[in-house]
């Protein structure tokens, strides 16, 4: 499941109900608007939470909830200002790993940060199985 929440502040209960009903394996969210004060209200039973909050200003942020049954590894990236989160789900038996990514690109993002994002995408996209979602706010994108 993917959604742009535009603030999870008052939507956490709705998200929990939807996830319990639909039993999604992965939930990707952009524009969480979380910061350090939201750690108490972000857990979903049966899911591991990965999040990247926007630093230094209000809004933004991305998160992935992945069922605890999956063996997951967070992929660290160092590009400041790029609101992307990457997690690898380890494949079982002879199955390939799956790389999951969720990104939020603000409408007024500088070209310099776009170039950092392209570099990050190039670095992580060597995986044969890549699932990538987000809100890219690019003109003429379908």
Domain assignment of residue 127, yes or no:
yes
pLDDT of residue 40: 59
Whether the model clears a pTM of 0.75, i.e. scores above it, the answer is yes
Domain assignment of residue 100, yes or no:
yes
Domain assignment of residue 110, yes or no:
yes
* The token pair that represents 11 in the structure block: 């939507």
pLDDT bin (cut points 50, 70, 90) of residue 38 is low
Q: For residue 107, with 0-12 CB atoms within 10 Å meaning exposed, 13-18 middle and 19 or more buried, which class applies?
A: exposed
Number of domains in the chain: 1
Average pLDDT, the chain: 88
Tell me how far CA of residue 37 lies from CA of 86, 132, 141, in angstroms. 23, 28, 34
Rounded-to-integer distance, Cα 32 and Cα 72, Å: 21
Domain assignment of residue 142, yes or no:
no
Domain assignment of residue 13, yes or no:
yes
| Sign, Cα dihedral of 106, 108, 110, 114 | positive
Closest CA to 84 of 60, 108, 68: 60
pLDDT bin (cut points 50, 70, 90) of residue 91 is confident
pLDDT of residue 138: 81
* The token pair that represents 94 in the structure block: 């002879």
CB atoms within 10 A of CB 100: 23
The two beta strands, 83-89 and 62-67, are: unpaired
pLDDT bin (cut points 50, 70, 90) of residue 85 is very high
* The token pair that represents 47 in the structure block: 């899911």
- 60 vs 41, which has greater pLDDT? 60
Domain assignment of residue 141, yes or no:
no
pLDDT bin (cut points 50, 70, 90) of residue 39 is low
Q: Give the domain extent around 98.
A: 2-135
Rounded-to-integer distance, Cα 47 and Cα 69, Å: 8
CATH number for 60: 3.60.10.10
Domain assignment of residue 61, yes or no:
yes
pLDDT higher than 80, residue 41: no
pLDDT of residue 84: 95
């Amino acid at each position: 499941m993917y959604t742009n929440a535009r603030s999870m502040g008052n939507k956490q209960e709705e998200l929990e109900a939807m996830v319990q009903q639909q039993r999604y394996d992965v939930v990707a969210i952009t524009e969480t608007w979380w910061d350090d004060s939201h750690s108490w209200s972000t857990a979903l039973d049966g899911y591991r939470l990965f999040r990247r909050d926007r630093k230094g200003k209000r809004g933004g942020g991305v998160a992935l909830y992945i069922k605890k049954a999956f063996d997951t590894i967070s992929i660290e990236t160092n590009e400041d200002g790029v609101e992307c989160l990457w997690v690898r789900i380890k494949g079982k038996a002879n199955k390939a790993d799956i790389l999951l990514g969720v990104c939020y690109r603000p409408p007024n993002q500088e070209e310099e940060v776009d170039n950092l994002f392209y570099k990050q995408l190039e670095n992580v996209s060597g995986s044969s199985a890549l699932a990538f979602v987000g809100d890219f706010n690019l003109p003429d994108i379908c």
